[in-house]
Amino acid sequence: MNLGIIGCGAIGSDVAKAADEMEEIERIYLYDINKKASNKLLKTLKKAEIQRVEDFLKHVDVVFEGASQDAVREYAEKILKAGKDLIIMSVGSLFDDKFRKKLEKLAKENKCKVYIPTGAICGIDGILSANVGGLNEVTLVTTKPPSSFGLSLDERRVLFEGSAREAVKKFPANINVAASLSLAGKGFDETKVEIVADPVVSRISHKILAHGKFGRLRVELENMPNPNNPGSSYMASLSAIATIRRIIEPIKIGV
């Protein structure tokens, strides 16, 4: 399998280095709007080269996006029209219902898949299953150190309370987990989100609270920040790598 990577930041670099060690992956193609980032990453890999997305599409089987919502809007349609599978990390880009449905249509027409890693949260399998029977309410509480938001605070502050749709709009780089949770469960408008900056905490935490016909669900995860980007959880990188492994491996675990 050949892998294309858009975005050579912290998550893209983690994915590229892991993919470089996978026997099933023969070549890796890198692209970043910041050429210094792709050149730096290239020096650490054995099986990689740098190409524009338009150029590497004919060579790859799967494209991993780890750049931004803008990158998803710019490249997702081209990737799916080329019949290539796409892994999206910037899930907040899918809050645009019209855009998301267009990608769904393109994937069906071109017989390819869009994969959304669970990212920095656990419990998505439970939400997916519970939603089959009916969910009454889903709430996400995300707490991060103020530095993750570019803030300096002396006390805990609730930065946002509202729907996932509004959260993704206001915090596009910090709350992709809300988008993943919304797609798995009750949607962007009915998923409740609270975002907190707390100077006492050193880890990024996500808490999911849900109830429905299945019973009650409570999941809480404390993430270590990515050592190369304190605004991102290291679990997000691990989730992306696990998604690639899931595509490759013959036995699929989970829903």
Question: Which residues partner with 123 through β-bridges?
Answer: none
Task: List Cα–Cα distances, 210 to 142, 176, 188, 201, 221, in angstroms.
Answer: 15, 18, 15, 24, 15
Phi and psi based region of residue 44 (left: phi greater than 0; alpha: psi -120 to 50; beta: remaining)? alpha
Whole-angstrom Cα Rg for the chain: 18
Q: Are 11 and 66 in contact (CB under 8 A)?
A: yes
Strand partners, 160: 195
Which phi and psi (to 5°) does residue 94 adopt? Answer: -90, 5
Q: Which of 124, 160, 206, 223 is catalytic?
A: 206
Q: Do 126 and 166 touch, CB atoms closer than 8 A? A: no
Under 8 Å between Cβ of 137 and 210: yes
Q: CA 109 to CA 88: how far, in whole Å?
A: 19
| Residue 206 annotated as catalytic | yes
- Residue positions annotated with a catalytic role: 206
